[in-house]
Amino acid sequence: MRHLPKILCLLTLGLLLLTALQGHFHIITVRPLKGVYVGTEKPQFTPSAFLSGEWQQTADRYLKEHHGFREPAIRLYNQYLWTAYHRSTNPNSVVVGQDNYLFDPQFVNEYYTGCYDYFFSDTIPDYEKTQVFYRRISRLAKLQDILDEEGTHLFLALLPGKERIYPQYLPDRGAQARRDRLFGHLRAYDFYRQFAPLYGIRHVDICHCFDSLRGRTPYLLFPKTGTHWTNIACTYAFDSIMRFMQTFGPPIRPVTLGQPYYAPTREPDADLDSLLNKIVGIPTEPNQYVDVALSDPIPARNPSLVVIGDSFFWNILYNFPIQELFAHFRYWYYFSTIYYDPDYDNVADIDLVEQLLDADYVMISHCTVSLYNLGGGFINRALLELCYDPDEIQAVRDSLAATPSNLSIDKRIDRNLEQYFPALAKSHPTRRSTRFNQLKH
Amino acid sequence: MIFSSHIFLLYFLPAFLLLYFLAPAKWRNAVLLVASIVFYAWGAPDFILVLLASTVANFYLVRAMHRARRPAVKKGLCAAAIVLSLGLLAYFKYANFFVDNLNTLLALFGLSPLPWAKVLLPIGISFFTFQSLTYVVDTYRGVNAPMRRLTDYVVYIIMFPQLIAGPIVRYTDIADQITARRRLRWGECLQGFYRFVIGLGKKVLLADVIGRTVDTVLASDLAQLDSTTAWVTILAYTMQLYFDFSGYSDMAIGLGRIMGFRFPENFDNPYTSASITEFWRRWHITLGSFMRNYLYIPLGGNRRGTARTYLNLWVVFLLSGLWHGASWNYVLWGAYHGFFLVAERILSRRVGWLDTRRRHPLFVLPTFIILLVGWAIFRIEDLPSCWLFIQRLFAFQFQPLSLTADPQYYTTLLAALLFAFITLLPFGRKLQRAVFYTDFRPAAHIAAWAAATAMFFFCLGALTASDFSPFIYFRF
């Protein structure tokens, strides 16, 4: 006992040193944190950076993100905040609703204010939204017509959002927010579900389907602690989508859905909970799951599919053997990053005309929140590249660049596409680009 | 570098302690010196040379002063050393303030402003200036002989535990400890660690949590504040300031103790004071002590009649206010406290039951309310906004408070209030004695060590988690 203080002192020092060493050598394996963030790059020491204090600031930030036992330390504190105050430890990405239902904040904003600009973190005035929606849907109709002639079947999938299906679990934002919801704000989904049939857009309204199923299924349509549709709901939904596709396009190999069974919540159904980075997850009832198996008959040729959409399609990818159902499958995530393409990572690098003419199906899928930015730039680019040559497009861009404006060139083109490219003003554009003609011959 | 940063807690501190413990006793000051230079240079690399140069100059001036035989020479050298220290403080801390005010005056007379490039304030300058002054004056007064070795003096001035935010350690209190510190006592080290962690907890788990909401409220439109929010906010700021500052002092005292130093206490439950006079004996004790010994007493203290005593008090508090920051609100805050101190003196002489020497628990509340208003002046630098906030306090437009809106804030505030006032109860005083001023027995050490280690790790989690907010995946 006489040496106890010395032992404890040295133990303290040892723990501090271990923590420092753990940061560099990862001596003990710890459960990693979930989620993505932009980390600080390792600072490069230069005398001038040191004297200005910039190096020290960056080093502070860097060490904060890389110190030893960072993961359990964060989990411990987050668990305290959750247990003691029932507070989201990650309010930028997770909002706590009623009965511990978790929501992505974008969905809560969508519910209360409508058409939350997912991309620019801003609310858009209704008159501006309407303009955007009309432009998008009329151009989509033109694009659908052009592609139909080439045997490429473009269609729109309107997917549900958690806020639309389970509004009773949303956090209450007070009387003003409720009034805003009732009396204002056009929602993208409401617009497109109404106008897609009027413009002759081929579409499947899964959101409406979920709305009608709400409370009538033995399984949850959206998980308590996840952002996206449940594993089982998305499986049934994509099965329906594939049936819908075959009403106008080439056959797809059939699949068999097994019997639903209960299982502990799987990762995608608890992505929001995992993002809270606590020690213990929020208790949930076991969810139902269903397995998908390939069936017969095998079609003579597997069709090809391009999906342009948001993260809801990931859940489908978890369940369906997509690459066995479709000969060429490409996922143009938000029409930006490309998945499942061995040659390209970003849509900026692809020959869009070639890819579109090669595809049997082009599916634009959006949930209620991301529907605001329908296609994410795809529609304009596809129309332009199908009908105009790159030098013609560049000439317009150059002339716009010479004119000062607060708006970006892309935004200006989006607002006045038909003015700058008159061939697109026709209800059925007949002009085709040189690249298109090359590929056709 | 600040104590509640990762670089300090996880890299600088363990590396320093390892070297310090391994070093032979006679090398420990050298280790401390190098570590202190690194510590300071991390935050203010371009100022470290100025600091070292002024410290070296001061050391030789004081040595020459001590050796001088003629009183006039002695006095002259003493004045030169004081001017050097205060000159640096005046230039770095007050030049911007002076020029800004001068330019406002010039503008009033239609004259063009004085061209001036803003001077950056070096961290800790207020503290090490005062420590230099105590060295000069204590040596001049013959309280202590000057340090023999330059390195010992530099260690005294820039010792990293108290360099940034005190406590202000008088030369006479620490001279012997620097030159003839006892060998390491592990029990002391351990209790230093406990004290450090208590300070860290005060800062990270109380002050920082409360401060986030206080900052948000005070950054909002103050004209729209109802009186309830205004009072709760200033109450919260009062707690934030106390736990932040006293937490930092605890960390400094704890670090000192780990190294074998005994720094003076800086806080003694100030909000339990029953008068403003008592508050200043309990709040930032080392500053109060400095002001008394090096300003109030040289001005004549209370030896030159009642009126002069009151004037001296005012001067001390005006300067004390200005020391806290180069802004008029700090001057006003000093004057506000000076006013109440003088008022208390006058009243306690004339009204027996108001005698501040007889502590009356009922006076704790009115004293605390005076302090709250004072902190509003202290916190809100912009004087019109400050006045607006005080108007909101006394508008008596109370609205019900939504405690569920931010349960962490209110719970933390309640915990802070409990800790701030707990020593009003005998149990609290007993607890304080047990935690801070008792040598632990082995069993108590095990429990305290486990609690302190857990708290340290918990604070680390709070510091790390504060801005870790990942997304599920990137969006475009």
A26: alpha, beta or left? (left if phi > 0; alpha if psi -120 to 50): left
Chain B residues in contact with A12 by the CB 8 A cut-off are 190, 193, 449, 453
Q: Which A residues in the span 318-347 are in contact with B, Cβ-Cβ below 8 Å?
A: 333-337
**What pLDDT score was predicted for residue A133?**
87
User: Is pLDDT larger for residue A198 or for residue A132?
Assistant: A198
Asked if B405 is an interface residue toward chain A (Cβ–Cβ < 8 A), one would say no
Asked if B457 is an interface residue toward chain A (Cβ–Cβ < 8 A), one would say yes
Rounded Cα distance, B202 and B47, in Å: 30
| Preferred mutation among A1, A2, A3, A4 to probe B, highest tally of B CBs within 10 A | A4
Is pLDDT above 90 for A397?
Answer: yes
Tokens representing residue B206 in the block = 């109380």
B198-202 mean pLDDT: 94
Chain B residues in contact with A85 by the CB 8 A cut-off are 407-408, 411
**What pLDDT score was predicted for residue A144?**
96
Long-range Cβ contacts of B242-245 (<8 Å, 24+ apart) = B242/B267, B242/B270, B242/B271, B242/B416, B242/B420, B243/B202, B243/B203, B243/B206, B243/B207, B243/B210, B243/B416, B243/B419, B243/B420, B244/B202, B244/B203, B244/B207, B244/B208, B244/B211, B245/B165, B245/B284
A401-415 mean pLDDT: 87
Is pLDDT above 90 for A117?
Answer: no
Asked if B187 is an interface residue toward chain A (Cβ–Cβ < 8 A), one would say yes
Residues A74-110 pLDDT 10s: 999 999 989 988 888 787 788 899 888 999 988 888 8
Rounded Cα distance, A435 and A388, in Å: 9
Under an 8 A CB cutoff, do A16 and B469 touch? no
| Preferred mutation among A9, A22, A95, A345 to probe B, highest tally of B CBs within 10 A | A9
Q: Residue A109 to residues A117, A171, A187, B472: CA-CA distances in angstroms?
A: 9, 11, 11, 18
Under an 8 A CB cutoff, do B408 and A35 touch? no
Asked if A263 is an interface residue toward chain B (Cβ–Cβ < 8 A), one would say no
Shortest Cα–Cα distance, A77 to chain B (Å): 5
Q: Does the complex come out with an ipTM higher than 0.95?
A: no
Of B1, B15, B442, the CB nearest to A4: B442
Rounded Cα distance, A185 and B417, in Å: 45
Shortest Cα–Cα distance, B96 to chain A (Å): 21
Asked if A8 is an interface residue toward chain B (Cβ–Cβ < 8 A), one would say yes
Chain B residues in contact with A271 by the CB 8 A cut-off are 472
Under an 8 A CB cutoff, do A36 and B471 touch? yes
Beta strand A287-289 with A261-263 is antiparallel
Of the candidate ranges A217-221, B260-264, B354-358, the one whose mean pLDDT is the lowest: B354-358
Of the candidate ranges A227-231, B183-187, B269-273, B472-476, the one whose mean pLDDT is the lowest: B472-476
Residues of chain A with pLDDT > 90: what percent? Answer: 43
Helix (H, G, I), strand (E, B) or coil at A365: strand
Which residue in the block uniquely carries the two structure tokens 């949850």? A220
Nearest to B387 by CA among B230, B275, B273: B230
Under an 8 A CB cutoff, do B11 and A36 touch? no
Asked if A25 is an interface residue toward chain B (Cβ–Cβ < 8 A), one would say no
Confidence of residue B368 (pLDDT cuts 50, 70, 90): very high
**What pLDDT score was predicted for residue A332?**
95
Angle formed by the axes of helices B125-140 and B71-89, nearest 10°: 170
Chain A residues in contact with B18 by the CB 8 A cut-off are 13, 17
Phi, psi of B114 (to 5 degrees): -75, 125
Under an 8 A CB cutoff, do B7 and A33 touch? no
Highest mean pLDDT among A369-373, B165-169, B399-403: A369-373
Is pLDDT above 80 for B439?
Answer: no
Shortest Cα–Cα distance, A163 to chain B (Å): 18
**What pLDDT score was predicted for residue B441?**
80
Q: What does the angle CA B379 – CA B384 – CA B388 come to, to the nearest 5 degrees?
A: 80
Asked if A20 is an interface residue toward chain B (Cβ–Cβ < 8 A), one would say yes
Of the candidate ranges A194-203, A342-351, A360-369, B97-106, the one whose mean pLDDT is the lowest: B97-106
Is pLDDT above 70 for A174?
Answer: no
Confidence of residue A36 (pLDDT cuts 50, 70, 90): confident
Confidence of residue A177 (pLDDT cuts 50, 70, 90): low
Rounded Cα distance, A210 and B222, in Å: 47
Residue of B nearest to A16 (CA): B14
Asked if B7 is an interface residue toward chain A (Cβ–Cβ < 8 A), one would say yes
DSSP letter string over B224-236? G--HHHHHHHHHH
Residues B307-354 pLDDT 10s: 888 888 888 888 888 888 788 889 899 999 989 988 888 887 777 666
CB atoms within 10 A of CB A431: 13
Q: What does the angle CA A188 – CA A192 – CA A195 come to, to the nearest 5 degrees?
A: 140
Residues A252-298 pLDDT 10s: 999 999 999 998 888 778 888 888 889 988 888 888 899 999 888 88
**Which residue type, as a one-letter code, is found at position A337?**
T
Confidence of residue B178 (pLDDT cuts 50, 70, 90): confident
Nearest to A102 by CA among A93, A94, A92, A112: A94
**What pLDDT score was predicted for residue A124?**
58
Tell me the residue ranges of DSSP E strands in A340-392. 361-366
Q: Which A residues in the span 32-51 are in contact with B, Cβ-Cβ below 8 Å?
A: 33-37, 50-51
Of B7, B186, B475, the CB nearest to A60: B7
A259-272 in b/e form (b: 16+ CB < 10 A) is ebeeeebeebbbbb
Nearest to B263 by CA among B275, B272, B274, B254: B254
> Would you mind telling me the total number of residues written for chain A in this entry?
441
Residues B115-163 pLDDT 10s: 777 767 677 788 888 888 888 888 888 888 888 888 888 888 888 888 8
**What pLDDT score was predicted for residue A181?**
62
Rounded Cα distance, A13 and A8, in Å: 9
**What pLDDT score was predicted for residue B470?**
63
**What pLDDT score was predicted for residue B382?**
87
**Residue A346 DSSP code:** B
**CB burial class (10 A; 0-12, 13-18, 19+) of residue A76?**
buried
Residues A179-191 pLDDT 10s: 666 666 678 898 8
Q: Which helix (H) or strand (E) holds B209?
A: helix B208-219
Residue of A nearest to B7 (CA): A60
**What pLDDT score was predicted for residue B459?**
93
**Which residue type, as a one-letter code, is found at position A186?**
L
Residues of chain B with pLDDT > 90: what percent? Answer: 27
Note if the bond before B167 is cis, omega within 30 degrees.
yes
**B66 in Cβ contact with B146 (< 8 Å):** yes
Highest mean pLDDT among B104-113, B128-137, B397-406: B128-137
Of A56, A64, A271, the CB nearest to B472: A271
Chain B residues in contact with A90 by the CB 8 A cut-off are 468-470
Query: Which residues of B are tagged catalytic?
Result: 324
Of B10, B464, B471, the CB nearest to A35: B471
Note if the bond before A268 is cis, omega within 30 degrees.
no
Size of interface A-B (CB pairs under 8 A): 152
**What pLDDT score was predicted for residue A40?**
80
**A360 in Cβ contact with A305 (< 8 Å):** yes
A396-415 mean pLDDT: 88
Rounded Cα distance, A114 and A130, in Å: 12
**A209 in Cβ contact with A240 (< 8 Å):** yes
**B299 in Cβ contact with B316 (< 8 Å):** yes
Half-sphere exposure of B449 (CA within 13 A, CB side): 23
A357-362 mean pLDDT: 95
**A325 in Cβ contact with A302 (< 8 Å):** yes
**What pLDDT score was predicted for residue A264?**
84
Of A77, A93, A376, the CB nearest to B472: A93
**A156 in Cβ contact with A201 (< 8 Å):** yes
Tokens representing residue B316 in the block = 């001390």
Mean pLDDT of chain A: 87
Residues 6+ apart with CB under 8 A from B56: B150, B154
**What pLDDT score was predicted for residue B404?**
61
Residues B17-57 pLDDT 10s: 999 988 888 888 899 999 999 988 888 787 888 888 888 99
Rounded Cα distance, B246 and B250, in Å: 6
Residues A308-332 pLDDT 10s: 999 899 989 888 899 899 988 999 9
Under an 8 A CB cutoff, do A76 and B449 touch? no
Of the candidate ranges A305-314, B109-118, B169-178, the one whose mean pLDDT is the lowest: B109-118
Asked if B450 is an interface residue toward chain A (Cβ–Cβ < 8 A), one would say no
Of A73, A87, A92, the CB nearest to B408: A87
Which residue in the block uniquely carries the two structure tokens 């150059």? A398
Nearest to A171 by CA among A234, A49, A88: A88
According to DSSP, the residues that pair with A306 across neighbouring strands are: A330, A362
Beta strand A122-123 with A116-117 is antiparallel
**What pLDDT score was predicted for residue A24?**
82
**Residue B411 DSSP code:** H
Is pLDDT above 80 for B360?
Answer: no
Nearest to B92 by CA among B55, B59, B121: B121
Under an 8 A CB cutoff, do B475 and A118 touch? yes
**What pLDDT score was predicted for residue A118?**
44
Under an 8 A CB cutoff, do B470 and A33 touch? yes
**B380 in Cβ contact with B329 (< 8 Å):** yes
